[in-house]
Amino acid sequence: MAIASAWNLIIVGSVALNQDWVKKWAAGGQFDIFPTWLRAVYLVIAAFMILQCWFAYKLMKHQGAWSRLTRRLTTLLMISSLISAVVNAISRSSHERVNTLFALAIAWGYMIFRSSKKVDQ
């Protein structure tokens, strides 16, 4: 999960910085130059992903969800990662379709964290 999250953060951060190498890996591979509005969106996504990595670290430290709220948040992030996997899988960019594997790895990690027995019923 950590490697997949790092890869995703590199991709998203590189789009925000308009790096040439990432053009095949993001936004369907359709841009020669990422528009400013898209770069801004990816910058917000990068900030969200940093928070997501912090939350995943906390989940690892606690060996899973530690409350009903964190269990719900973990479920939401798992579903979000599954949606991301589907979106990547249907991309017209073959490079972006590879990102499906990383999104599935993240979803799987959240599924494991969600299944913790520590949450009070």
Q: What is the pLDDT of residues 7-20, one digit of tens each?
A: 999 999 999 999 99
Amino acid at 23: K
Question: Counting every residue, how long is the chain?
Answer: 121
Per the domain annotation, does 119 fall within a domain?
Answer: no
Domain count, the chain: 1
Q: How far apart are CA 19 and CA 27, in angstroms?
A: 13
Q: How far apart are CA 14 and CA 8, in angstroms?
A: 10
Provide the residue range defining the domain that includes 14.
Answer: 2-114
Per the domain annotation, does 120 fall within a domain?
Answer: no
pLDDT, position 106? 95
Whole-model pTM: value is 0.84
Per the domain annotation, does 57 fall within a domain?
Answer: yes
- 76's CB contacts (< 8 A; 6+ apart) are none
Per the domain annotation, does 18 fall within a domain?
Answer: yes
Amino acid at 106: I
